[in-house]
Structure 1
Amino acid sequence: MPKNPFDASTLQTFGNAAAGHDGVLSDSSGAVVVKPCTPAEIAFYESVTAEHKELAPHLPTYMGQLSLSSGSAPEAEADSGTIQTATGVERLHGKKLATELHIVLENITHGFKNPNVLDLKLGAQLWDDAAKPEKRARLDAVSNATTSGSLGFRIAGMRTWKGEAAPEVESGLKDFVESSGGYFVFNKMYGRKFSADDVTEGFEAYIFPGEKSQAELERAREVLAFFLGEVKDIQSVFENKESRMYSASILLVYEGDLDEYTKTKKALATHRHSEEDEDEDEDLPKLAAVKMIDFAHATWQPGNGPDENALKGMRSTAKILKDLLDQTEKQLEE
């Protein structure tokens, strides 16, 4: 990390193999992202730090805010409420936000060699009380036509590592998937094609990007068990909070390179059992991560009870993960 990683002179336009990143910046280490934001998102993160510390482990680490003039850093425009972070995942676009206000957050995908990323946008209602009638109507139409309405979430974007010699995209997926830099990058329309009856296919494409070999099944079992535990933990915390989070997402990440996954697993096991002095801040590789993101439309609402709009999506996600875990364990036993 540079001595002053958030100085405009050290920042650069964030870029990876997944998608465009209008207005999103990173430091030279790649450990943080700096993105345009609304005052509401800053307020939400600061309130978590001050008053809701039990939520902090489930969010990207908040590192403060910056004011960057349009001339001091590349592209200061982004999409309000649906800003693309370091995930490289395309999400539903809102109006353009031209602002000098930026939030500095942990890059969730830092520590992975080739991260597989799944972005699940929560809620059947995707707009907040400030939304104009035409925006409400547009987002309601999206919700009603997708799993947002039926399950309380939809796949907003996804990318999976296919290897340096990535195969060609199947003809039936060419409207939804682009092959880029060894990844399959699934656009925002991919998740909109699913119904409650077949959305599991999207999860399977994420968890099993290659053939279901023994090694892939074993990784899937470990990753699914971790994802399920984390999602249920997030659900449990928010069941005890009185909040409203419109267009927030759950981000699921795991190491997409199977050889790297195995290597990292061994390295972490060795580290845990080492008797050497351990530094909690040591930059260790990662196997998987789950975080809540996108809080441009998040508020605390004491007296109004838990956010059932978002919780419905969490519960649906947990059920799908549990079903896939059960199926994977059954396949491993056969």
Structure 2
Amino acid sequence: MPLPYLGGWANRDSAGWYADYAVLCARRFGDRVTRWATFNEFSVFTLFGYALGWGAPSVSDRGEHLKVIHHTNLAHGAGVDVLRDLVPGASIGAVHSFQPCRPADPAPENVEAAALFDELWNLCFPDAQILGHYPPRIARAIEPHVQPGDMARICRPVDWFGMNHYAPLFAQAEPGAVWGCGFGAPPEGIPRTDIGWPLQPSAFHEALMQATARYRLPIYVTENGYGTKSPEAPDAQGIIMDRERLDYLQACIHEMVRALKDGADVRGYFVWSLLDNFEWGGGYGTRFGIVHVGFETQKRTPKESAKWYSTMIGGALGRAS
């Protein structure tokens, strides 16, 4: 029977199903793959799928969302244990969507909404997995789903913290919403991309320093990039001038270097993405690539951001050698 009909992540048995999947992956790839992430962006598929109703399975229920948070955490812990047992020398972590969460305006209800949204988006997964407890606003609500020994099963030793970062989040109170809060608009004066994401590279430094102080793990920035609805087609000379992306990446890397100087242990950085691709939320209509893909011809054309990035990392490697 397909797993969604068995309750999906809302079924506590899903942690065991995930462990079985981890065994299969470890046995198939463990002789060649040493770096492993248990999950990518826990908060996105759980919050969108079980609280906001935006993604599969389109549920908006606080109780179901709490179950899913806890069962996914249990699955993470089970996956770590499988990899430790079956892949000698494995380097294991998880990838979190990690963005500073701010109130849409200074109203007290929005300040509280931002604090709650921060726990739902940023903290309820890494806090449980690395610190061994849930953040305070979530802890009491999730208690009925936590059985004796669960937190020890979740909090397994990991080697690194994976961070996907794009922009700060702005939250507001929404009395009719499942959690009484939701996404708000950025304040006036904060520029946005044409897909509506705030442009504030200084938030990247803030996120790196927060993760450093809270989790004390090496950090790999597994996604950072700039998306647009523009087709960004080559001009008559074959050049694709994506100035906004280039400026954003340059500013974010500057903020990462600043965080390194301030004590963040950043071990790796990956631009999202190398190629224009099928974005799960935006399909082919949103482009993040530093290399343009003609989707009908599959022709690849480096954008100006790719040329700048190539030069930049080449210089960095030269200085390091």
Q: Calculate the TM-score normalised by the size of structure 2.
A: 0.31
**Which structure exhibits the higher relative contact order, with contacts defined as CA atoms closer than 8 Å and separated by 6 or more residues?**
1
User: Higher helix proportion, which one?
Assistant: 2
Which has the greater radius of gyration?
A: 2
